[in-house]
Chain A
Amino acid sequence: MSSATSTRPTPDETAEAAEKLDLLRQTLNRVLFGQDPLIENVIIGLLSRGHLLLEGLPGLGKTELVKGLARALQLDAKRIQFTPDLLPADVTGSPILKETPEGRRFVFHRGPIFANLVLADEINRASPKTQSALLEAMQEGRVTVMGETHTLLRPFFVLATQNPIELEGTYPLPEAQLDRFLFKLDIYRNEIPVLEEIIKHREIGEEPEVEAVFDRETLVRFATLTRRVYLPDVVANFIARLVDATHPGRSRTAETIKFGASPRAALALATGAKARALIQGRGHASFEDIRNLAAPVLGHRILLDYRAKLDGKTGATIVAELLQEIPAQDKALPSTLKPTEVHG
């Protein structure tokens, strides 16, 4: 066991992290109105060192969120608009011939992926080759061009978006690549009060003012602290049973699932739960963390069969059914006792 996981966070550490992360959340709330769950999940993704896939209509503030996040955390942010003619080199960068005092030589010109925060807008519009280049960089944390390996910045965080409409001419991400995203988050339209707030506090073309909350080093420290958050055995058992139940034949709900979630999903759930616990100032993960993160972690990792699609079910609804079916505690009550209410 590494020292990072063997030493539990102290109450002071968790309190400090919770305080600063709450400040970050409040700051981002001023950038993106009415999207509290989305903002929390984005922060969880940051702490978990994972990448997020956002799905929602244009104009809901995805770019603003990334910009606000970059300013709040004093990170370098880039945006890539994915189009069908985008090439891998446009993402990763390419060597160019340059005159130097030593003569002509190829110098690697860094692409937009060399940033702490990368907004990959409409990722499903690029060709699979370009998608693959991005996803490989996300996985490896480095790019190799002409036999030369270039390490990406740390922290490295990709926020990819895809549009659920106008799917003609798009290249849907295959399941194997979807699995590389920690969360898939749906961005829903704003309610009337939220829209009213936006109208009152925003002007078109004017970016909101965002103050720096903490720096890059603090973010890395919090990410390291996240790994030290205690995951109780019962919670780990719940994650294992939940992920196992996504496989056909392993649960009643899974009858309409074609392929279940991978072990990577279980790891993502565990890490996300730890991050959520830290945000809430706890030094240990809980069942509630798992319940909250199950849909964004598992929803895009399970492949539904035709029956579920005909019934109008989505990954999120299936996960909700699974959470109803799989009890958090792996201990049933005896039949001689009446069942009791479970909190939440």
Chain B
Amino acid sequence: MKSEPPRETWCRMARRLARRMNVGFWLADFLPLFFAAGLVQAFLLIWLRKNQLPTSPAWWVFAALLLAAGSVAWFRKRKRFFSQQDALVFLETRLGLNNGLTAADTGVAGWPKPVALPARIVPRWSWKRIGPWPAWTLAIMAVAAWLPVDPVTSSPSARPVEPIAWSGIESRIETLEETDILEPASLEDFRQRVEELRRRAPRDWYSHSSLEATDSLEERTERAIRDLRDNLETTARALAEAEAFPEGLPWGREAALREELREALAGFEEGLLQLDPEFLAQLSELDPQSLPSMSQEELDALRECLADGLAACEASLGDGEDVLLARVPGTGGIGEGPAPAPLSFRADPATGEVSRLESVSNDDLSRAALGDRIGVGETDDDDEKRAPYRGPARAGTIATPGDGGEAVPRETFTPDEQAVLERYFR
């Protein structure tokens, strides 16, 4: 086997040494960045797991960060990298070759005879400096990958609760839609108004103007339904009365019924809730005189439509009552409450008095959600057991008549006078 020329041997050793040095320099800068990248990846991984999202982006980000860290480390340390010549100088310094390798590399002198590098001159890895970085990084990443985390559930309170009146209005409209006697376009008008309010920014839902508009729309809806119900009742009553007298209405009553029907018809036409045009035309032809000429089927159909409409109106208004009951007293529109003020000290459910006090608070605001219940307390609302206090009815009088002689010392005398009197009567 042909022996390698000294130049090749020395250069090979120098290149190997330079590689080790350069990797060492690169690692010195890369490892802290590697740790930082691992930290970022760990936080990202936990966040993704907490939000129940795919974790692959965390690994992609980690790979990209590693690439960037490697590039940064190389860029920062490239000026300190060892060239082959530097490695030759390193070797000749350690081996005591009097710069013979440098001179030989320049061509000034011949290459020294290659020697086996003693272990003491070959730089060895300092694992005490290298090891902790990847160890900590991998530990953190492992914790991030396997640590049990509570997934964040989408809390309804994340989005502000919309004003309850909106759902009340929509509920009424939906109930009215079940009947066929109403023009769908008129119902859609109410629904669109609610949608307009809902389209506002959630932070404005409880603004003054929004709440005023809500109140106004709610009253308008209720009034329209009540008007419709009244008109339908009037019509149904007139129809029933006319049917009760198949031979003809008493004198004077016919004109009154006609007038009532005319007013109801006007109400139907001018009302916010428009009747189906066909049904409205049918109603407009109603006349106490012409009723006997209608067939029984026609009358039954008409009666059924009216009853259906009335039932829908009643049901719709009933929905409204639910909404009303759901309101907390005193928390209505701006500056005015739709219900009696609280704290009336009466066990009357109609007042909506709160008997269960609930408080909501959360020290960790980052995890707070509106509506979180953290405790429930009980209060005694049975105030009737206690005698109510009544103050003086008029100036200069005593508040209570007292029990015999006790009234005097209790109400008028000073403590000293009371003591004197007590001693006397004793």
Contact = CB atoms under 8 A, between A and B. Distances in A.
Nearest to A329: B89
B25 interface: yes
Interface string A1-32: 00000001001000000000000000000000
B27 A232 contact: no
Contacts of A336: 24-25, 27-28, 31, 125-126, 129-130
Nearest to B96: A343
A240 to B, nearest CB: 15
A234 B86 CA distance: 9
B109 interface: yes
Interface stretch (B98-106, B274-282, B292-300): B98-106
Contacts of B82: 331
The residue in A230, A280, A331 that gathers the most chain B C-beta atoms within 10 A of its C-beta is A331
A288 interface: yes
Contact of B103 (A283, A333, A334): A283
A230 B105 CA distance: 12
A328 B99 CA distance: 11
A190 to B, nearest CB: 30
A239 to B, nearest CB: 13
A97 interface: no
Q: Chain B interface mostly helix, strand, loop or mixed?
A: helix
A1 B80 CA distance: 31
Contacts of A333: 21, 24, 123
Contacts of B129: 335-336
B130 to A, nearest CB: 5
B126 A234 contact: no
B20 interface: yes
A284 B93 contact: no
B35 interface: no
Interface residues of B, number: 34
A335 B80 CA distance: 12
Given A284-B109, A287-B99, A328-B93, A337 B123 contact: yes
Interface in A238-295: 277, 280, 282-289
Contacts of B98: 277, 280, 282, 284, 286-289
A234 B101 CA distance: 12
B109 A334 contact: no
Interface in A97-119: none
Contacts of B109: 11, 282-284
Contact of B126 (A232, A335, A344): A335
Interface string B167-180: 00000000000000
Interface string B106-134: 10111000000000111111100110000
Contacts of A332: 80
A285 B100 CA distance: 9
Most B-side CB within 10 Å, residue of A11, A232, A331, A336: A336
A341 interface: yes
B93 A338 contact: no
A39 interface: no
A339 interface: yes
A268 B89 CA distance: 23
Contact of A341 (B24, B31, B89, B120): B120
Contacts of B120: 340-341
Given A336-B130, A339-B123, A341-B121, A288 B28 contact: no
A286 B112 CA distance: 15
Contact of A284 (B27, B94, B103, B126): B103
Contact-size category for A: 20 to 34
B126 A329 contact: no
Contacts of A288: 96, 98
Interface in A284-318: 284-289
A232 B103 contact: yes
A288 B27 CA distance: 32
Contacts of B93: 287, 328-329, 342-343
A285 B82 CA distance: 22
Of B80, B94, B120, most buried by chain A (CB within 10 Å of CB) is: B94
B166 interface: no
Nearest to B95: A343
A338 B94 contact: no
Nearest to B110: A11
Contacts of A337: 20-21, 24, 123-126
Contacts of A277: 98
A335 B28 contact: yes
A234 B102 contact: yes
Contacts of A338: 123-126
B34 interface: no
B96 A344 contact: yes
B399 to A, nearest CB: 91
A11 B103 CA distance: 13
A91 interface: no
B268 interface: no
B74 interface: no
Given A332-B80, A333-B21, A334-B24, A341 B106 contact: no
Contacts of A8: 108
A341 B80 contact: no
B90 interface: yes
A284 B112 CA distance: 14
Contacts of B108: 8, 230, 283-284
A69 interface: no
A340 B125 contact: no
Contacts of B123: 333, 337-340
Contacts of B86: 329, 331
Interface in B58-104: 80, 82, 86, 89-90, 93-96, 98-100, 102-103
A286 B122 CA distance: 21
B10 to A, nearest CB: 15
A52 interface: no
A8 B121 CA distance: 31
A225 interface: no
B28 A340 contact: no
A235 interface: yes
Contacts of B80: 331-332, 334
Contacts of A280: 98
A332 B21 CA distance: 10
Contacts of A343: 93-96
B116 to A, nearest CB: 15
10 contacts: A282-B109, A287-B98, A288-B96, A329-B86, A329-B90, A334-B27, A336-B126, A337-B123, A338-B124, A342-B93
Given A282-B103, A336-B24, A336-B27, 16 more contacts: A11-B110, A230-B108, A234-B99, A280-B98, A284-B106, A287-B98, A288-B96, A329-B86, A329-B89, A331-B80, A333-B123, A334-B24, A336-B31, A336-B130, A337-B20, A337-B126
